[in-house]
Amino acid sequence: MVSCCVKKNLQTLAVVVLILAGYVKGQNCGCATNLCCSQYGNCGVLVQVVQVVQSNASPGTCGVSVADIVTEDFFNGILNQAGGGDCPGKSFFTRVAFLNALNSYTQFGTNGTADDSKREIAAFFAHVTHETGSFCYIEEINGASQDYCDESNTQYPCNPNKKYYGRGPLQLSWNYNYGAAGNSIGFNGLNSPETVATDAVISFKTALWFWTLNVEPVLSQGFGATIRAINGAVECNGGNSGAVQSRIQYYTQYCDQFGVSTGDNLSC
C-alpha cells in the first residue's frame, strides 16, 4: 500500500511509469545505490522520480486507510471488552455504521505520517471506549437527570421538552453542541436530540464532527491535550484522575495493537 502523498499525482505517476520504461536496464538487480530493483529484475531511477512526485504532492494526503486499521477484529475487540448485563450499544454500534459515517469526514486519520494516523485512530477509539463502556452504553448513565441546557446560548435555544445529555460514541452533550452538530450533519439536533441514540450512522457522525472540530487541532500536543479538549477541567488538573488514567490505558493499548509509540504528553 502506498502510504501517502501521491493523491493529486496519479496522472503524473502514469507518465513516470512510461518514462521509467525507457530508462530501465536489465542488470539482474545488481543495482547502484541510486537505482531501485523492480519485481522483474531490472534497475531504474524510481527512487529519484518518486522523490520528485512526493515533493509536488499536496500536503495533508499522507496517512493510512482507516478501514484497514479499524478492522472487524479491532472493532469487535472493543465490543468484547464490555462487561455483562444490559448493553444496548452492542447491537447499535457497528463497524459498518462507523465506516458509513467516515465517508463524510475523510480528513479523519489522513494527516501526517502513517504513524500519526494510527495514533489519531487510537486516540479516537480510546475516548470512545471510555465514554461508552466499550460500546455498551448509547446514552449517558442517569443523563436525563442532568441539566445540559445553556440558556445563555441564544443561537441554539433549548427545547423545554427535550434533554441534551450525553449520547453517542463521544457522548454529545449540551444544546449548543446538538444544535451545531445537527446543522452540520443534517438532523434536527435541538428538537430531536434522541436521533443520536437511534440512528447509528448519525451517532458516529456526531462523534467525528466533534472530533474534527475540537480535537484534531490539538493532536500534535499529545494525547493529554485530547482529554482536555473533550472534558477539560471536569477531568484534568485533578478533576477526575481515574477517568484520565482510563483513557490513557485504552490509548496505550490501541497504540500497541497498531504498532506505534504513544508519543509524549499522555496526561492532561
Question: How far is the C-alpha of 166 from the C-alpha of 132, rounded, in Å?
Answer: 10
Residue 63: phi, psi to the nearest 5?
135, -155
Per-residue CA distances from 190 to 21, 101, 167, 171, 179 (Å):
60, 20, 13, 15, 5
**120 is annotated as an active-site residue:** no
Per-residue CA distances from 266 to 9, 25, 41, 167 (Å):
37, 51, 47, 26
The sign of the torsion formed by the CA atoms of 195, 200, 204, 207 equals positive
Question: How far is the C-alpha of 199 from the C-alpha of 185, rounded, in Å?
Answer: 12
DSSP per-residue codes, 54-118: HHTSPTT--S--HHHHS-HHHHHHHHTTS-SS--GGGGT--HHHHHHHHTT-TTTT-SSSHHHHH
Task: State the catalytic residue, choosing from 72, 120, 131, 139.
Answer: 131
Q: Which residues contact 108 (CB under 8 A, 6 or more apart)?
A: 66, 102, 120, 124, 208, 211, 212, 216
Q: Active-site residues: which are they? A: 131
